[in-house]
Each structure stands twice: as C-alpha cells, then as structure tokens.
Amino acid sequence: MTINSGFFSGVNTTDFMAVVTNQARIMETGIRELRYDLTADPLRCAADVGSDAVVLSGLKDKCTASLSHLKRLYDETRFLRDHLEKV
C-alpha cells in the first residue's frame, strides 16, 4: 500500500512504518544511555548540578516536550494498529 496524498506522496506505508520503528529503537537506546550517564555516578552528577543548572533545566524542558510528542505518536500508532485489526 502506498500513501498518495500531501507530504507522503508515493511513500510505501510498510517501509515508512519500518523506518519509524527503527528510529524509535535508536531514540530508546540514546535515552537509555543518557539516563545511564546521568545516574551512573551520583556524586559527580551532584557536584555538576550547581554549574549545570541551566543545562539541566533545558534538558528537563526538552524531556517534557519529547514526552508530549511521544504520547501523540503512541496515540496515533495505537489508533492505526486498532484500525488495521478491524480491517
């Protein structure tokens, strides 16, 4: 099946979802590594908090925005899966 409207004109839907899946895995791995880096050495992290408060605040804001986008992606993907199950 191919999407034939707007931005996705001529894109194979199966290939598109494969790319989405692959990118989601890459993002998951990156987030996991970042989490490990931030939690592996709590003493170093605590010492850096004072000097990096602005960076940490920005990172927190980016995490909040990312969660919002990921929730919408989850909702859209779940709707698509449920729709395909009905078909």
- pLDDT, tens digit only, all 87 positions of the chain: 555 556 666 778 888 899 999 999 999 999 999 888 878 876 666 566 555 677 778 888 899 999 999 999 999 999 999 999 998
Identity of the amino acid at 22: N
- The whole-angstrom separation of Cα 41 and Cα 31 is 17
- What Å distances lie between residue 18 and 13, 14, 39, CA to CA? 9, 6, 32
What pLDDT does residue 16 have?
A: 87
Which residues, including other chains, have CB under 8 Å from residue 45's CB and lie 6 or more apart? 38, 39
In this structure, the number of other CB atoms found within 10 A of the CB of residue 70 comes to 13
